[in-house]
Structure 1
Amino acid sequence: MRDGLNPQKKDALVACTYNHRVIMVVYIPEFRGYYAKMFEVFKLSIESLIKTLPKTSAITLVDNSSCEEVKNYQIELHKAGKIESLILLADNIGKIDAQIGAARMSREPLITLTDCDILFDIDWVQETIKVFNTIPKTGSVAPYPSRRSLTYATFSVQEAILKRKYKLEFKPIPENFENYNMFLESINWQKEINQNALWPILNVGNVKAVVGSDHQVLTLRRDILFNTVPFEPSYIKVGNHSEENYVDLPIDVFGFFRLSLNKYKAFHMGNSPEAWMYDKLNHLSYKSESLILKLDVNMKYPRSKNRLQFQLRKKLIKELFKFYVPKAYKN
């Protein structure tokens, strides 16, 4: 039996308060081994994120079956109003399925997918939105540059460069040297010794973006998740090409650019906190402004694409682009 009229029917429309949402998946099942110091790393990450978000951005945390202490910490963040949304999963469903599921239920036109070991710096959202507003074909932007991702899932931007629609420059960015080595160290890669190493820079007006990105954290168009990302679940906990298949390649296959900021506005921490991370966090102040997003709403998203045709085009672009890249960058 129903008694009366559901009051929600009188005001059926739901307002969209934000234009950008950050989705962070958290999985810390214990405090030993690999995860011994991950809780402290996660706290640094979420605190830096809360401090650096403008009013037009919101946070969704997805707890992927962490231990009770970590889960309770996230619940307290939600109760305090520091995060807008919290999803608690009883079982670990894998990083990509947790990210994509939460992203598809969000309504904001820009979605940031991030690991819980990223330290965010001031103005990272402002600089990210500036790239989207300036370069219409932008599909994703990472908040820190990737010097060696020029030819990974970037065939769409390579084609645009070869057609002279955009200009690519190879220049050193000496101020990135220290931060770049910090990133390489965080993933146990060999450090860069050349302070004047070249970076692939797309120059559009007063905006500079590096071509390519890593995928520990990136901001992408929400529409891509409904038009180019596989519809079936990944069923993979982490790695095994899951990020490649569900994030990197879909952006590129359908003609969008994978870019990153040309300066470091975020940092990869790894699984162990260091003194510099606390220093950076302590120098952050809370943001309060609203940001205007100007995405091209008429962008076409084909639901199917001839993969064979794309592979042939990709192979041709790859060969032609080799002649465009200076030898000094390859070394």
Structure 2
Amino acid sequence: MRIGINPEKNNKEIELNNYHRIVIPVYIPHFEGYFAQAFTVFKLCIESLLLTVHSKTRITIYNNNCHADVKEYIDQKYSESELIDQVFHSKENLGKINAILASVKGNLEPLITITDSDVFFKQNWQKAMEDLMIDFPQAGMICPVPNSKAVSQFVKNNWYFGLFKSKLKFEPVSDPQAMIRFDDSLGNAKSLLKPIHLEKYLVIYNKKKNAKAVMGGGHFVATLRREVFDKGTNEPAFIKIVGGVENKFIDIPNEEMGFLRISTVDNYAFHMGNSIEDWMHDELALLKKEQTMPQHSSSDFKAKPISKIGRTIGFIIQKLIARNTTIKLKVLNFLGLNSKDF
């Protein structure tokens, strides 16, 4: 029998004091083979993150059936840091996307950063992402790691906006060494980058804001508008990390909603992979605890998606470039690149 009235019934509105949520799914089942150094990598990820975020940030860690020592570490960090306000423990590995969806759906922040557990965050990464989200209200997804090759996937809105509403232009890569480091971290037998990719990337401008960003971006770490999750698919993911599952739940909703997919011009994060290297500790030593008060609020991040007509035009342009080599070369030349290798 219920006695009395629940006092929370009078508190109808939820007061949101934060505006940026970071979600980290982690899966480290043991410490052998592929996962031998993964725990140390994860610790570097958390340490770099806690040093570089502002006070209006909150962090969710989703434990996808990790080893007991990893679980203990997560609980310890939860107790120590007010920034880590949510921890979920699953006795089964439900996969990256389901961990993200479960974490995002129950939170209210307008900005959601999703990140793998092997990402190292550099100083000022968060300010760069938030400033770019304001400078490009058409953007729905921003990556802090520019990639010259990310010019062809899920960027139809970029083509329309850059060619008809603002400007597209090839410019020198600001930090080619960081791009090499990212390529090395993937562990591929052969580099994905050609020399031209280390020299130039395609830059998209917003002339009204005097701002620029790199065309395209990855999703091993990315900041998204929460609308991408709210209005995207409500289905669960039945595949863990392969088979285009990230495309279905992140990339396609972002594009279909009319948002740009861009990256910062400078490099603000590193992909560490599953092994420790000396440079990681060197980079950690350079970090200082973020003391700057955030300059933004939830109301600053208003979205201006591309119109349906613009999306259609962008789709046509993207298809023509992908299917016709002659058109592709003419477009590249028009944008300031004289190379057939891009």
TM, length-normalised to structure 1: 0.91
Corresponding residue for residue 242 of structure 1: 245
1:295 to 286, 295, 301: 301
SS in 1 for 2:171: strand
Corresponding residue for 1:328? 338
In the TM superposition, residue 193 of structure 1 has moved relative to its aligned partner by 4.1
Give the letter for the 1:154 counterpart.
V
Distance 1:153 1:242 in 2: 14
The one-letter code matched in structure 2 to 1:168 is: L
Shift of the alpha carbon at 1:237? 1.2
Assess if the C-alpha contact under 8 Å between 1:170 and 1:329 holds in 2. no
Equivalent position amino acid for 2:214 in 1 = V
- Give the number of aligned pairs: 323
Give the Å deviation of 1:70: 0.4
User: Cα deviation per residue 1:8-29 (whole Å; 9 max; x = unaligned)?
Assistant: 2343322111111000000000
Residue 281 of structure 1 corresponds to which residue in structure 2? 284
Secondary structure at 2:15's aligned position in 1? Answer: coil
Question: Do the aligned partners of residues 67 and 5 (structure 1) sit closer, same or farther apart at CA in structure 2, a change above 3 Å counting?
Answer: same
Superposed CA deviations along residues 39-96 of structure 1, whole A, max 9, x for unmatched, are: 0000000110111001111110000110110011101111112511111111111111
Q: Secondary structure at the match of 1:324?
A: helix
Letter in 2 for 1:32: E
* 1:7 match: 7
1:182 maps to what in 2?
A: 181
Cα RMSD, aligned residues only: 2.4
CA–CA separation in structure 2 for the residues paired with 1:159 and 1:242: 26
Distance 1:117 1:328, change over 3 A: farther
Verify the 8 A CA contact 1:181 1:192 in the aligned structure 2: no
Give the SS at the match of 2:331.
Answer: coil
The one-letter amino acid of 1:183's match is: F
User: Paired residue for 1:63?
Assistant: 63
* CA drift at 1:264: 0.6
Partner of 2:211: 207
Q: Is the 8 A contact 1:54 1:291 kept in 2?
A: no
Structure 1 equivalent of residue 228 of structure 2: 224
Judge conservation of contact 2:41–2:274 (CA < 8 Å) in 1.
yes
Question: Where does residue 129 of structure 2 map in the other structure?
Answer: 128
Distance 1:312 1:113, change over 3 A: same
Counterpart secondary structure, 2:204: strand
Query: Per the alignment, do residues 291 and 65 of structure 1 end up closer, same or farther by CA in structure 2, a change over 3 Å counting?
Result: farther
CA distance in 2, matches of 1:330, 1:127: 32
Q: Structure 2: 5+ residue runs without aligned partners?
A: 322-326
| Runs ≥4 residues deviating over 6 A | 309-313
Inter-partner Cα distance in structure 2 for 1:148 and 1:231? 30
| Structure 1, gaps ≥5 residues long | none
Letter in 1 for 2:200: L
